[in-house]
Amino acid sequence: MTNAIIHIGAGKCGSSALQTVLSQDFKFEGGGNGLVEYAAVRPDGLLLSGEGMLKLAASNPYGYCSSVNAAEIASLSRSKRKVLAKRLSGVCGSSGCVVLSNEGWINESELFKSSDVLQSLKLKCHAVCYVRPPVEWINSAWWQWGAWTGAPFPRWLNGNLMHVRWFEKIEKWQDVKGVEKLTVRLLPKDIVSDFCGVLGVRSPQENRSNVSLPASVLRLYQRHRYLRPDPHSSAIDFVLARYLNGGVNDPTPWVLGPKVIERIIEKTRQSNLRLLTLLDENSKAKIKEDPRWWDPTAFSFRQKEPPMAKKVNPEKLEAIAVQALRAIWELDQENRQLRQKIDAQL
């Protein structure tokens, strides 16, 4: 059997920041697991690791690699699963541990269970997931997905309250064959260091937290929908975030009013209470003392903005425009230098 740590999500809980670092610093040593290496199951059962991982991460706009969804793995033929199992075992050897990640796996426990994916791949797994207060998740998820669905905010909210009932999603993973341990973590400021602590390895020196786009950019998206045509066309977010965040105080718009906040907390209260049974003692104490999980007044300092399109703040937009112009100039210089190198090699 191959030892594996599978990061199963949740979405909007630091996954891209974690996957970015893991894709670049993919090999770790230390702790009780021997060699620990990040890998990604790709379409058709291919396994990406090492330099191949680094090259693909550098060449795509997201800046990271992650594994495919459960359906793609479950659809693999018996022979392809056998080949994939052998490749997984070869990543770190019998004394090591392979790390896999997909933020959507938290929602796919039933498919993992019915298809017996983990056991067919001969994986002995420690499943790890991160959660955050439901109210904050809803606001973040609106700007990641909801704002680009075309649905009015109230209708979108009704359809997404189920996604922040963390206990109901996570506890099902206890019944997935191949999962020998389940760890639930509260999303910290530095997810990379926290996850490395779970792995029992030293964290890379340079960690990067999740970076949100300036509010002015999100409002521009709403006014010019071809820039963000649907919930899944998010590559532009990652590209712009690399260039448009230095020194601009323009946080993500807060679209939740007091009544909506109260509703979210009441709809998730019982799930949050049951979530306590899945946490270690330290995390249990933290969540009990954190009013963001239990008390609507914890968000009383927030100023609600409309969820739909509004005019962009001219001063903040000017700051964004200056950064964009500088980025274009720098990218043009890099492009010309690369062209000169290519021409010199021809």
Q: Is the pLDDT of residue 162 over 80?
A: yes
Residue 205's pLDDT is 63
Return all residues near 264 (Cβ < 8 A) that are at least 6 apart.
134, 135, 138, 161, 164, 256
Average pLDDT over every residue of 147-176: 97
Residue 244's pLDDT is 84
Identify each DSSP E strand in the chain by its residue range. 2-7, 27-29, 35-41, 47-49, 97-101, 123-131, 179-186
Instruction: Kindly state the helix (H) or strand (E) to which residue 324 belongs, with its residue range.
Output: helix 314-345
Instruction: Look over the chain and give the mean of its residue pLDDT values, rounded to a whole number.
Output: 93
Distance CA 251, CA 19 (A): 23
Return all residues near 59 (Cβ < 8 A) that are at least 6 apart.
none
Average pLDDT over every residue of 76-97: 91
Q: Which domains does the chain have, with CATH numbers?
A: 2-133+165-199 (3.40.50), 215-251+313-345 (no CATH)
Q: Both tokens of residue 6?
A: 């599978």
23-32, 158-167, 248-257, 319-328 — which is least confidently predicted?
A: 23-32
Distance CA 22, CA 110 (A): 27
- Nearest residue to 315 via CA among 211, 213, 216, 212: 216
The answer to whether the beta carbons of residues 153 and 307 sit under 8 Å apart is yes
Query: Which residue would you say has higher pLDDT here, 205 or 112?
Result: 112
Average pLDDT over every residue of 165-192: 97
Distance CA 287, CA 293 (A): 7
> In one letter, which amino acid is 14?
G
Residue 120's pLDDT is 96
Residue 23's pLDDT is 94
Average pLDDT over every residue of 114-139: 98
Average pLDDT over every residue of 143-169: 97
Residue 311's pLDDT is 86
The answer to whether the beta carbons of residues 26 and 49 sit under 8 Å apart is yes
The answer to whether the beta carbons of residues 169 and 109 sit under 8 Å apart is yes
Query: Which residue would you say has higher pLDDT here, 340 or 29?
Result: 340
* Model confidence pLDDT, tens digit, residues 195-220: 999 998 888 866 555 668 999 999 99
Residue 248's pLDDT is 74
Q: Read off the DSSP letter of residue 76.
A: S
Cα 80 to the center of its chain, rounded Å? 28
Strand-pair category, 179-186 with 27-29: unpaired
Q: Is the pLDDT of residue 286 over 80?
A: yes
pTM for this entry: 0.93
* Model confidence pLDDT, tens digit, residues 32-63: 657 899 999 999 999 999 999 999 999 999 99
Q: Is the pLDDT of residue 247 over 80?
A: no
Residue 66, classed as helix, strand or coil, is: coil
Average pLDDT over every residue of 91-111: 92
- Residue 48 pairs in a beta bridge with 40
Q: Is the pLDDT of residue 302 over 80?
A: yes
Q: Is the pLDDT of residue 281 over 90?
A: yes
Average pLDDT over every residue of 240-253: 84
Query: Which residue would you say has higher pLDDT here, 211 or 161?
Result: 161
